[in-house]
């Protein structure tokens, strides 16, 4: 039908020797011209690098001179250059979706050795593409306007950085944090490696900048409940948990906290090593300065009496009747910087955490060394008095271990070195590091390792078998004994110590999967948020308008988290500056007449793009949310869903084309 009208150009790429080394490209080009004329091929050429400017110019010139209506490029995978050739066609005045890339590199030359077979297979692939491209329809990009405000979820250093970048460029930002203060894990540390900067000193200026920035709306003690819409136009529902403190009246004087009679163990900021009150700010430099009442532990909420904070508050800011508030906002883009959880060291019972008093986790030790922490920065045993004479630091606790997490947590080596240095600086204790491999790859990191070596820290290479208080000989009594195979000395060692620190793994947030689902993005098998491309697009996701940054995408140290925060902000800014975004028109559509309302597609859609009309009992695909993955198209039992660029018609045409050579020499030679 269409074959008489269409004028198709076929362009076969050598890709240097990548393709031409195995495929006789000249023969493929010649064959296409001679044999596919009935399908509409009027011109067929080969060229050394079709993706070069000269190659593209050649295609453009042919479109204009020869009046081509369709273009097939036989080269690499569409992942690499589909866009290149679509844009080239568009420059020559052809609708970009009337092109087709036939992969004869990834699917032919790189997987075959036999030249004859490879050449014949290339012909089939080209014939398939030619049959298919005839069925293509011209498509127009979907233009969506981009709302200016941005939502940043997570107020750790990555989120703060992203928020500041966007705010400083003059655009509004909502920064949502579920704890009462921003600051994240970095606020818990005393020193940062390898420079030993005071963590608070470099973080708090950023925190207060974020807190006072005219373009940043800070929503702490708040969580995102629901996200609807799509890039440029997200409707976000946020639950502002009741602080029971009127922030307009509160001056942050702290009297309520002083006077509150209820002391509770602080499991979050002090990781169980210290106390806070029932009305509290997590730490002195908290941003915002307003405290919150922990309703679960507040005596008033438990017993109905007390109200001491209310009595002492000089500005009448305490409001026990305050309720959670639902805030609705509209944003154009979202950055998720939700960070990590620390591995629960109790999961490795043989290391004794939770059983043996003087086994600490890395975060507990961070708090201990912090001048504002529970011991005012003194390194002490659990009794709160005794200075240890010997300290062991165990690396890779829950990391690089097939029983827990296979991955390397990236920060633990450097963190352990920092701990060793701090112990050396503040006590006269002997320090052991028990490591599997030392990993110190970034700027000035290995130099820091050398420095700690020079300070006399002892390094034992081997995975610790157990930490026990079960003494075997008299010298071991009352100590923690580390049983370890010293793989450099080639022997088992038992080292009695006063204190053991477990450098625990970084794990995805316990609710990472729920968060990912809420925002319509994916998680890796481990639970880290998945990037659009791990190397070339590390802060974007497969969902347009949702970006990710910091440790939520995988274990990361501070410099890497900050870089990602900035990178995500840069991506968002480019969208905001453009004001609108052209989305690929590769979409699925439901023919509502054919839809039976079975809802099978509803849950399968990875982008939450399908909504169901209860009244008409039919499903509909949101064109801005749909990413054209095709899952629903394949799943629809009624065949009611069509995907542009992957319709049944197009796929069957391609199969017909592939089988064009069925009776030729291909089959016997392949066998």
According to the binding rule CB under 8 A, does residue 574 interact with other proteins?
Answer: no
Cis upstream peptide for 288 (omega within 30°): yes
Non-local CB neighbours of 439 within 8 Å, separated by 6+ positions? 408, 410, 413
According to the binding rule CB under 8 A, does residue 352 interact with other proteins?
Answer: yes
CA distance 368 to 360: 10
Q: Identify which range of 94-102, 115-123, 343-351, 565-573 contacts other proteins by CB under 8 A.
A: 343-351
Q: Identify which range of 306-314, 348-356, 361-369, 489-497 contacts other proteins by CB under 8 A.
A: 348-356
SS3 127: helix
According to the binding rule CB under 8 A, does residue 470 interact with other proteins?
Answer: yes
Binder among 17, 64, 247, 350 for other proteins (CB under 8 A) = 350
CB of 526 to other proteins, least distance (A): 21
Which is nearest to 197 in space by CA: 482, 418, 40? 418
Q: Identify which range of 184-192, 310-318, 468-476, 656-664 contacts other proteins by CB under 8 A.
A: 468-476
Binder among 37, 145, 349, 475 for other proteins (CB under 8 A) = 349
DSSP state of 345: G
Residues 425-444 that bind other proteins (CB under 8 A): none
DSSP state of 179: S
Residues 23-82 that bind other proteins (CB under 8 A): none
CB of 495 to other proteins, least distance (A): 16
HSE value, Cβ hemisphere, 13 Å, CA-based, for 190: 24
Which is nearest to 75 in space by CA: 27, 11, 7? 11
Q: Identify which range of 82-90, 310-318, 322-330, 465-473 contacts other proteins by CB under 8 A.
A: 465-473
According to the binding rule CB under 8 A, does residue 491 interact with other proteins?
Answer: no
Which is nearest to 12 in space by CA: 96, 71, 93? 71
Which is nearest to 308 in space by CA: 263, 249, 275, 248? 263
Which is nearest to 156 in space by CA: 196, 174, 130, 183? 183
* CB of 193 or CB of 351, closer to other proteins: 351
CB of 349 to other proteins, least distance (A): 3
According to the binding rule CB under 8 A, does residue 355 interact with other proteins?
Answer: yes
CA distance 92 to 69: 11
HSE value, Cβ hemisphere, 13 Å, CA-based, for 456: 8
**How many chain residues touch other proteins (CB under 8 A)?**
12
Binder among 18, 338, 468, 553 for other proteins (CB under 8 A) = 468
CB of 357 to other proteins, least distance (A): 12
Residues 170-229 that bind other proteins (CB under 8 A): none
According to the binding rule CB under 8 A, does residue 156 interact with other proteins?
Answer: no
Q: How many CB atoms lie within 10 A of CB 474?
A: 6
CA distance 572 to 565: 11
* CB of 281 or CB of 405, closer to other proteins: 405
Q: Identify which range of 129-137, 140-148, 470-478, 565-573 contacts other proteins by CB under 8 A.
A: 470-478
According to the binding rule CB under 8 A, does residue 138 interact with other proteins?
Answer: no
CB of 398 to other proteins, least distance (A): 14
Non-local CB neighbours of 563 within 8 Å, separated by 6+ positions? none
Q: Which residues of this chain interact with other proteins, rule CB under 8 A?
A: 348-350, 352, 355, 466, 468-472, 477
């Amino acid at each position: 039908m269409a074959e008489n009208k269409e004028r198709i150009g076929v362009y076969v790429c050598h890709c240097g020797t990548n393709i031409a080394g195995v495929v006789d490209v000249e023969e493929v080009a010649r064959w296409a011209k001679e044999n596919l004329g009935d399908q509409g091929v009027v011109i067929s050429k080969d060229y050394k690098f079709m993706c070069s400017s000269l190659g593209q110019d050649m295609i453009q010139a042919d479109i204009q001179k020869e009046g081509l209506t369709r273009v097939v490029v036989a080269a690499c995978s569409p992942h690499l250059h589909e866009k290149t050739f679509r844009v080239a066609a568009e420059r020559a005045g052809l609708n970009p979706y009337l092109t087709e890339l036939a992969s004869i590199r990834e699917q032919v030359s790189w997987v075959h050795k036999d030249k004859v077979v490879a050449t014949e297979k290339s012909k089939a692939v080209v014939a398939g593409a030619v049959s298919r491209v005839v069925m293509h329809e011209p498509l127009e990009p979907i233009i969506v306007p981009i709302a200016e405000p941005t939502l940043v979820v997570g107020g750790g250093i990555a989120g703060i950085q992203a928020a500041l970048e966007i705010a400083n460029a003059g655009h509004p930002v909502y920064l949502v944090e579920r704890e009462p203060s921003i600051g994240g894990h970095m606020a818990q540390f005393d020193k940062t490696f390898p420079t030993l900067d005071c963590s608070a000193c470099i973080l708090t200026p950023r925190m207060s900048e974020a807190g006072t920035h005219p373009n940043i709306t800070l929503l702490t003690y708040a969580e995102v409940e629901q996200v609807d819409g799509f890039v440029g136009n997200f409707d976000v529902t946020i639950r502002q948990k009741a602080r029971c403190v009127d922030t307009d009246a509160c001056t942050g004087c702290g009297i309520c906290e002083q006077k509150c009679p209820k002391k509770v163990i602080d499991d979050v900021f002090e990781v169980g090593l210290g106390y806070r009150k029932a009305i509290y700010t997590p730490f002195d430099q908290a941003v915002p300065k307003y405290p919150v009442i922990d309703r679960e532990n507040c005596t008033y909420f438990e017993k109905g009496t007390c109200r001491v904070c209310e009595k002492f508050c000089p500005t009448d800011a305490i409001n026990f009747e305050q309720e959670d508030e639902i805030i609705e906002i509209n944003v154009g883009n979202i950055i998720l910087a939700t960070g990590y959880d620390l591995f629960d060291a109790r999961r490795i019972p043989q290391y004794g955490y939770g059983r043996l008093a003087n086994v600490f986790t890395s975060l507990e030790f961070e708090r201990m060394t912090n001048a504002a922490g529970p011991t005012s920065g003194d390194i002490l045993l659990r009794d709160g008095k005794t200075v240890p004479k010997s300290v062991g630091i165990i690396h890779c606790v829950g990391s690089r271990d097939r029983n827990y997490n296979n991955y390397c947590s990236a920060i633990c080596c450097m963190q352990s070195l920092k701990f060793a240095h701090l112990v050396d600086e503040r006590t006269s204790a002997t320090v052991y590091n028990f490591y599997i491999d030392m990993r110190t790859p970034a700027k000035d990191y290995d130099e820091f390792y050398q420095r700690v070596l020079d300070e006399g820290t002892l390094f034992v290479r081997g995975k610790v078998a157990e930490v026990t208080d079960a003494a075997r000989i008299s010298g071991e009594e009352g100590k923690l004994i580390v049983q370890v195979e010293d793989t450099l000395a080639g022997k088992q060692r038992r080292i009695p110590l006063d204190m053991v620190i477990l450098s625990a793994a970084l794990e995805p947030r316990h609710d990472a999967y729920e968060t990912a689902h809420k925002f319509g993005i994916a998680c890796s098998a481990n639970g880290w948020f998945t990037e659009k491309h791990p190397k070339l697009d590390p802060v974007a996701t497969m969902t347009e308008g949702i970006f990710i940054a910091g440790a939520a995408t995988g274990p990361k140290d501070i410099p890497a988290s900050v870089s990602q925060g900035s990178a995500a902000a840069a991506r968002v800014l480019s969208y905001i500056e453009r004001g609108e975004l052209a989305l690929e028109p590769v979409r699925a559509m439901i023919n509502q007449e054919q839809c039976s309302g079975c809802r099978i597609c509803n849950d399968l859609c990875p982008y939450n793009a399908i909504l169901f009309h209860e009244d008409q009992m039919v499903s509909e695909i949101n064109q801005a949310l749909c990413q054209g993955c095709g899952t629903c198209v394949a799943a629809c039992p009624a065949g009611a869903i069509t995907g542009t660029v992957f319709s049944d018609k197009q796929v069957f045409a391609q199969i017909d084309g592939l089988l064009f050579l069925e009776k030729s020499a291909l089959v016997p030679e392949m066998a």
